[in-house]
Chains A and B, each alone.
Chain A
Amino acid sequence: MTWDITGMAAIANIGASPEEIFAALCAGQESRTPLKAFDPEKYRAAYAYEIDDRPAGGDIPRRATRWLTTVVRQAAADAGLGEDLSQIPVLVGTTMREQRSLELWWRDGVDVALEDLHFGTALKAAFGASTTYTFANACSATLYALGLATDMIEAGTADTVVVAGTDAATESGFGTLDRVQNGIPDALRPFDATHKGMLMGEGAAAVVVQRAGTGNGPVHARVRGVGMNCDAHHATAPDPDGITRAVLDAHRRAGVRARDIDLVMLHGSGTPLNDAAEAGVLRRIFDGAGSGPRMTAIKAMTGHTLGGSGLLSLVMAVLAMKEGTVPPVLGLTEPIPEAAGLGLVRGVPAAGPLAIAQIDAFGFGGINAVAIVEAAR
């Protein structure tokens, strides 16, 4: 069984549509900016990958919600669904929910209600949607949600599901990460020997997933399968065994072998622990799979967009397959030893036919989700 992706939308620091973001990734210009969202005096890290849409003079609540409703509207329009989603489930993956609003409420007295913390409230107001779910599944949230959407369609409870994700940077998250990272990263440099850690980005992404052949418009790509699991190992550090099981589960569900994969969108969070674990796992999985797939890591330019990052990688994979082009990993000059032999794209975009992509997303709590998507021809 496969599922059609018939609508896509995304917003990030480097663009307000999938096409803009993809073009920026291919152009490969440095995208980090000095930290503006929070008082830089309070932090060690000096850079982030923010969406620069705050008004002058301070932060405002519900930015993550606004991005979410924007990308859901755009993805629904792309699929020809219109703005009435009363009959369509909307599954939202997020790391932080509206915790940034909660911080502003607690510390500055900004008006925020309990009902604003989850996204059903805004989806009801904007689209009349009521079968809405907010899954706080850390940085694998949107690929988890994608897997749950395919389960719903397979079970016969829906033919069309909107899957989306959104996150705004929180002071508690950005600050605690800043506190614990050993080095202070100036930029997010996945798989490069100079990588020092993760820096947050902000963004949202949405796709419309439909039972095969039931949509009205063109099919962008097809979901072949989504694997999901938990390391049950460590609260914040990744576990190679858990990641391996998630990748193999995704391959099994999709009915593909390692040598069938043409492109891997890496989780690539730029932390030494993640990069070593992910690279080591992929070396073993793709060992003997011919020349191996091309690989790229978009967080080098978007920062870590948290819950929505998996879906943003997926949307970029779809465009990469359409264009036959893989954007490079910005700033990757000397790969870490664990990544030796992997087909990491460096310097300029790589051209070539791409039929099947693997997308990785790993999160705190040791939760992993891996999606396999094939080009629509």
Chain B
Amino acid sequence: MSTTSIARRRIPNVREVVVTSIGLALPGVATYGDLLGPLPGAGGFDVATGLSGRELRHKDRASRLALRAAESALHDAGLTDDAAAFTGAADETAVVVSTNLGNADSVCEAAATIAGAGVRALSPLGLPQTSSNVTAGWVAIRYGLRGPNLTVCNGATSGLDALAWARNLVVAGRAEAAVVVGVEPANDVATKLLGRQSTDVAVAVVLEPAHAAASRGARPRATIAGYARAPDLSGALAAAGVAQEESVGLWLGDEAEAGARRLLAATRHIDLEAQLGPLSGALGILQCAAAAAHFESGATGRVLATAGGHGHDAAAALLLTP
């Protein structure tokens, strides 16, 4: 049983945190409403044209993807002006990035370059991406976001974990809003490490306290209602506050997770990775976007997102409500 369940030991007057916008940079998915399927669809992000531009120059691929998703999310949230400058409370806005492979290509390329020709052959512009937090830094710099800045590299559950930590930052009063980005780039290093074709994916959501969203007239797309990371899926569900006898409207998770269907009833089940390819650190944030699509479609029931489990160090569950 996890000691970090937020549902089981909910404290009174805790600030309710809602998702107020979504941005995608994802080939084959034009808008987050498309995440309900079938996938991949027509259109979506074009990496051939979408990753260029003056403000993306000299940046690693993960950071370029993430900046495109963040741009879309902040626009959707009504937090940028006509010049794409941030108009929210910059000192109080956090950035949380989830990624596992974000800078793996930069690291391996630099090591290979040094082995071949020594450090003089390296580009000095590559310094930021030797550190795994490069993307969170660039997102903060682009929009002047001076709140807490966190990079979660936590394996299969990383995206769901990042959402929980962003919520924690808001609940603790360290931030009034958080831009949460899940990103993974496609490249040879990622493909070799994953053991299958890697995918370009970036997704960003904005989290705010429910009262703040209401007071500025922002429409809540989903509410984070529970979360836990536990040794296995059944432990994560219990600790996140999902009882076995109840049913959820949508379960976003791995079809193959052993015995998963016996754990609880779901009206609908969507496995995003089965359709889009490996999503790694971006999975949880994309599941959050799919949950918003579910609520927007008028479908009923709560949404459960799960990741990890068998073959991983833990499983995580995130419960979302309208």
Q: Residues of A with Cβ closer than 8 Å to B?
A: 38, 41-44, 86-89, 94-97, 99, 102-103, 105-107, 114-115, 117-118, 120-121, 123-124, 128, 130-138, 144, 147-148, 151-152, 154-158, 170-173, 175-180, 228-236, 242, 245, 363-367
- B residues in contact with A99, CB < 8 Å: 103-104, 107, 132
A365-B137, A366-B141 as given contacts; A151 in contact with B111, CB under 8 Å: no
Q: Residues of B with Cβ closer than 8 Å to A?
A: 1-6, 9, 11, 14, 90-91, 95, 100-101, 103-104, 106-108, 110-112, 114-115, 118-120, 122-124, 126-128, 130-134, 136-138, 140-141, 143-155, 158, 161, 165, 168-169, 171-172, 174, 189, 192-194, 229-231, 235, 280, 312-314
- A residues in contact with B14, CB < 8 Å: 155
Among A154, A366, A367, residue most surrounded by chain B Cβ atoms (within 10 Å): A367
A96-B131, A170-B130 as given contacts; A121 in contact with B155, CB under 8 Å: yes
CA distance A194 to B152 in the complex (A): 37
Among A123, A234, A236, residue most surrounded by chain B Cβ atoms (within 10 Å): A236
B160 to chain A: closest CB distance in Å? 12
CA distance A177 to B122 in the complex (A): 10
- A residues in contact with B106, CB < 8 Å: 172
- B residues in contact with A88, CB < 8 Å: 3
A286 to chain B: closest CB distance in Å? 23
- Interface pair B5/A232, CB less than 8 Å apart: no
- B residues in contact with A176, CB < 8 Å: 110, 119, 122, 124, 126-127, 130
- B residues in contact with A363, CB < 8 Å: 131, 133
CA distance A229 to B146 in the complex (A): 6
- A residues in contact with B1, CB < 8 Å: 87
- A residues in contact with B148, CB < 8 Å: 144, 228-230
- Interface pair A42/B118, CB less than 8 Å apart: yes
Point out the residue from B3, B126, B141, B235 that lies within 8 Å of A157, measured CB to CB: B3
Residue pairs across A and B with Cβ atoms less than 8 A apart, 29 shown, are A102-B107, A107-B112, A120-B154, A124-B314, A128-B231, A131-B4, A132-B154, A132-B229, A136-B151, A155-B14, A155-B168, A157-B6, A171-B111, A171-B114, A176-B119, A177-B130, A179-B119, A180-B124, A180-B127, A228-B174, A229-B91, A229-B146, A234-B141, A235-B141, A364-B127, A365-B137, A366-B137, A366-B141, A367-B136
CA distance A144 to B153 in the complex (A): 14
Point out the residue from B101, B133, B169, B192 that lies within 8 Å of A138, measured CB to CB: B133
Point out the residue from B119, B128, B314 that lies within 8 Å of A120, measured CB to CB: B314
- A residues in contact with B103, CB < 8 Å: 99
- Interface pair B130/A41, CB less than 8 Å apart: no
- A residues in contact with B169, CB < 8 Å: 151
A103-B108, A121-B155, A131-B230 as given contacts; A233 in contact with B3, CB under 8 Å: no
- Interface pair A114/B100, CB less than 8 Å apart: yes
- Interface pair B100/A117, CB less than 8 Å apart: yes
